[in-house]
Every structure is written in C-alpha cells, then in structure tokens.
Structure 1
Amino acid sequence: MQRSKLSVFPALLLTGSALWLSGCSTTTSEDATANWSPNKIYAEARDEANSGAYEKAIPLFEKLEGRAAGTPLAQQAQLEKAYAYYKSGEQAQAISTLDRFLKLHPASPALDYALYLKGLVNFNENLGMFSSITRQDLSERDQKSAKESFEAFKELSTRFPESRYTPDAQARMTYIVNALAQYEVHVARYYYSRGAYAAAVNRAQTALTDYRDAPSLEEALYIVVRSYDALGLPTLRDDAQRVLEKNYPNSPFLSSGFKGKDTRWWQFW
C-alpha cells in the first residue's frame, strides 16, 4: 500500500499587512473509485495496464486488493500489480510483491505463474549486466540476480513440471548456466591477460566445477593450460592439456589459441 506524502510548509509572516484566508479548509481528495465495484476497478486497472499506463494501473490494483480481500480477484490483482511493476522497471517492487504473494498464498493455483514471473524479473534485470561485461575491464560483478532467477525457475520446474511456463523457464535456466559459466571464463581471461595466472586458474576452475557441460568450459581448460605454463608448472599444465584434448579433440584452441574461437557469448539468448 502506498503511503501518502505529507509536505510541511512553514508559516509566512507578512509584514505590514494581514493575510486573510476566507472560505478555505483542509480537505482530502475524493476517491473516484469509492462507489466502484471490485469488477469495475479491475476492468479499469486492466485497461490502464493494456495501454501501457502502468503507473496508473498499480494504485488501482492496490485498491482492488483491499476491496476484494480474501477472494481470488484480490490474488489476481496482486499478481497483475507485480507484473505492472516489472513492466514499469520497478524490479525491487515487483519482487517484493511476488514474495508477499508466495508467502500469503502457498496453495494458489497461480503459484506457477508467480514463480515464473519472479524468475523473469530477475532474468531481465540481469541481461544488462551480461550484455555489457565483455566491454569492461573487470574482476568481480554481482551475480545475485542471475542466481535468484535460476532458483525461481528451478522451483517452478521441480514443483510444476507440467506448467505451461516450465518449458520457457528451463530454456532460461540453460541460458543462465551458460552465461554464468562464460562470465567466470571471461574473468579468468581478464586475469590471464594481465599476468595474474594463479587468479586465472582459480576462476577457470570455478567454471569447470560449478557449471558442468557449459560451452565455455572448453576455453576454461585452455586458460588453465596456458596459466600453468606461464607459472612454470609443467606437470599440471600437461594434465590439463590431456583433459582438454580428451574432451575437445577438435578444439580450435589447440591449433589457434584464443584467436581460434568466436567467444561472443552474450548471443546465447
């Protein structure tokens, strides 16, 4: 529920004359929806949302939550308010609304949609991060949104395997895993290019350990090989080389190094 903002104005002292305020009194703005039925409020809110006026739809959905409390319509209003927040770019408000819905309505028939929408909000918020990191010098970035998106999609897929939203959620989970793995590889390559070979090995190993079967693991192994070579550790280098050759016998990294593979990983989705 939104709070009304109260502004406090200082009194003005007018020298030499008196200010008389006649016919003025403190009034409250009228609620245009006071005599509306819940169905009318819902219809108006949907019209605003459908026209893209989400900032007008949100307060109407909030009113509907109160007017229709305890009914399926109130649950619908809460979900559509979350979607309106999402479409208007208010990710934090959307997630907060969805978390409240999941807590209050654990048996709702719309639970699968709520989980899907929560995953989608975090997924889209995270795309900006993934699409831009290859143009930056970086060492660390927050991956919290991507991981929370994955967890929401995973819960949806596990609890509601027959849901209409599950196939898309699973596709997005694959994207997230691949993107997070490639992120680790990108950071490993960043460290390698700056001579921080031990750090490069650590980040490449993170990708190899945490993200099985991701496409970027081929490059991760190559970074490990090159880093161990630069560190003067031939035994570890040769072990990593054998793993690379066994798993990727036709790897372009083996013949051409970093130039042998297109690594534009942000085109996954």
Structure 2
Amino acid sequence: MRSNRLSVASWAGLAALVLAGCSTTPVDITAGWSPNRIYSEASDERDAGNYEKAITLYEKLEGRAAGTPLAQQAQLDKAYAHYKAGEPAQAQAAIDRFMRLHPASPALDYALYLKGLSSFNDNLGLFGSLAQQDLSERDQKAAKESFEAFKELVTRFPDSRYTPDARARMTYIVNSLAKSEVNVARYYYTRGAYVAAINRAQAALTSFVDAPALEEALYILVRSYDALGMTQLRDDAQRVLQASYPQSEYMAKGFKRNEGPWWKLW
C-alpha cells in the first residue's frame, strides 16, 4: 500500500510539472529594460519596417513612462507606425487620443500633419500602385477629412515646417474633388442626362476655384446646353470657356483621351 501511495504522489507531481510546462503566459522580455531602451528598440523595429513589433513596444513604453515627454513621443511614433503599416483608422485614433491628452503639446502641428497625411494616403493612394488610375474617381470622403486636418494645421501653425507641404496637398485635394464632380457631370452627359450634367458642372464651377477640371466643366455646359437647344446659355458658356482658357483644345478636339494621369504632383 505504501508503494501505491508513493506512486500516486509521484504522478501528482509529474502532472503539476506538465501543467507548468504547458503554461501559455508570455514572457515579457522588456521587463528589465529602461524606458530609453524600449524606445530605442521600438524605433529600430519601426525603421526596419517591423511596424507590429514597434507598435507593441511603443504601447509598453506609454505605460512604463506615463506622464513623461517620452511617453508622449511614443504616442506619436505609434501613430506614425500605424500610418506606415497601412492602418489609417488606427493612426487617426492614436492621433486623436494624443491631441485630447496633450492639447498644448509643441508637437501638435506634427500631429495634425500626420492626421491629414494618413487620410490623404488612405484615400488617394498617392504612393501606391495606381499607375494610370484617375484618383478622382475614388471615394472622396477621406480626401475631405484630410483637407480639414491640413487646413487646421495651416490656420493654427502658419510657420510650421509642415505647413508648406500641407498647402500643396490641400491644392491637390481641391483639384481631386473638382475632378470628381466633373467626372460625374461627364458621366451624365455621355448618357444623355443633360440637365443632371449641367447641375454637376455648375456645382464644380461654384465650389472650386482655379482647378484644372473647371475647363472641362465649362465644355460640358456648352455641349449640354447645345444638346437641349438652349443656344443663349450655350453661347454664354462658350464665351466664358474661351475667355478663361484661350488655348483650350476642348472646342476643337472634344473630350481628351489617353492622357496621362493629371494628378501626379509628387
């Protein structure tokens, strides 16, 4: 009987060892690291393109160095890592949290710039593989959000180092939005919906200034009024087109075909 009791005890000990060995509790390799080391390792992972690892380290740093400038920097760097990883929603959430927690931060201009940039990249795919795709044909919601972030940056921080690039991107977004409106007008025109084409062309002309697409908007007005037999309005639109774009090829050649993407600015 004694040997049986020992055997049971041995099995119980073995079972405990097996269970301990099967534990899934992860080992935190950063447990003994200083905040500066965590930040350095996170930045190295980010620079190497290992954004998921970098984000995890930045989150650890936020907790370890809470209330310090290093934690604030970690929040911004985490947002940037999300942006580079193609996660604009997470990037903007991180930026919004940073701005809410640190409304007087000296890095607020950068936060606004990064917020605009994340929406800009998500919607327009400027650095993606869209070689010949007309970006104005894509959803413009993110473009408008990007514009608002850049506009706030330019308004609040006119001397910021990020403001010149923000202004250039705002111009690009305006051109994109105008082109989107004109694309819809052309769509209606080619399907014989001339009143709808006129409305969308006029919306582009009313809402935007100096956008390249406005030349085509005027041409769509000329053609649509002509199709409807509204000769006086047609002639008025044609005079404006010729006065505004004296070198316009639309009147001679019609809608342009096989041209390169108009949106390549960078």
Same amino acid, percent of matched pairs: 68
- The structure 1 residue matched to 2:262, chosen from 244, 257, 265, is 265
Aligned match of 2:193: 196
Amino acid at match of 1:192: Y
**The residue matched to 2:254 in structure 1 has which SS?**
helix
Contact kept, 8 Å, 2:221 with 2:234, in 1: the verdict is yes
Aligned match of 1:110: 107
1:57 matches 2:57: no
Distance in 2 (alpha carbons) for counterparts of 1:112 and 1:259: 40
Shift of 1:244: 1.4
Structure 1 pair 263–245 and aligned structure 2 pair: CA distance change class (3 A): farther
Distance in 2 (alpha carbons) for counterparts of 1:209 and 1:241: 17
Shift of 1:135: 9.5
**The residue matched to 2:159 in structure 1 has which SS?**
coil
Distance in 1 (alpha carbons) for counterparts of 2:264 and 2:99: 33
Aligned match of 1:238: 235
Shift of 1:242: 2.0
Distance in 2 (alpha carbons) for counterparts of 1:261 and 1:58: 43
1:155 matches 2:121: no
**Which consecutive unaligned segments of at least 5 residues does structure 2 have?**
1-13
- The structure 1 residue matched to 2:246, chosen from 245, 249, 254, is 249
Aligned match of 2:3: none
Distance in 2 (alpha carbons) for counterparts of 1:78 and 1:261: 45
**Which consecutive unaligned segments of at least 5 residues does structure 1 have?**
1-19
Aligned match of 1:123: 120
Aligned match of 2:207: 210
Distance in 2 (alpha carbons) for counterparts of 1:62 and 1:165: 26
Distance in 2 (alpha carbons) for counterparts of 1:254 and 1:143: 29
Larger Rg: 2
- The structure 2 residue matched to 1:167, chosen from 155, 164, 167, is 164
Aligned match of 2:36: 39
**The residue matched to 1:267 in structure 2 has which SS?**
coil
Shift of 1:205: 1.4
Which range moved further: 119-128 or 24-33?
A: 24-33
Aligned match of 2:5: none
1:225 matches 2:225: no
1:28 matches 2:25: yes
Shift of 1:173: 0.8
Shift of 1:260: 8.6
Q: Which whole-Å deviations, capped at 9, do the CAs of 1:198-248 have from their partners, x for residues lacking one?
A: 221122112111111111111100001111111222222222122212222
- The structure 1 residue matched to 2:69, chosen from 65, 69, 72, is 72
Which range moved further: 141-150 or 114-123?
A: 141-150
Shift of 1:47: 1.0
Which range moved further: 185-194 or 149-158?
A: 185-194
- TM-score with structure 2 setting the length: 0.85
Distance in 2 (alpha carbons) for counterparts of 1:263 and 1:242: 28
Structure 1 pair 35–218 and aligned structure 2 pair: CA distance change class (3 A): same
Contact kept, 8 Å, 2:113 with 2:153, in 1: the verdict is yes
Contact kept, 8 Å, 2:172 with 2:263, in 1: the verdict is no
1:181 matches 2:153: no
Amino acid at match of 1:88: A
Distance in 1 (alpha carbons) for counterparts of 2:135 and 2:211: 22
Contact kept, 8 Å, 1:113 with 1:165, in 2: the verdict is yes
Q: Which whole-Å deviations, capped at 9, do the CAs of 1:70-123 have from their partners, x for residues lacking one?
A: 111111000000010111111110011011111111100000100111111111
Aligned-residue RMSD, C-alpha: 2.4
Contact kept, 8 Å, 2:123 with 2:139, in 1: the verdict is no
**The residue matched to 1:109 in structure 2 has which SS?**
coil
Q: How many equivalent pairs are there?
A: 247
Distance in 1 (alpha carbons) for counterparts of 2:257 and 2:238: 16
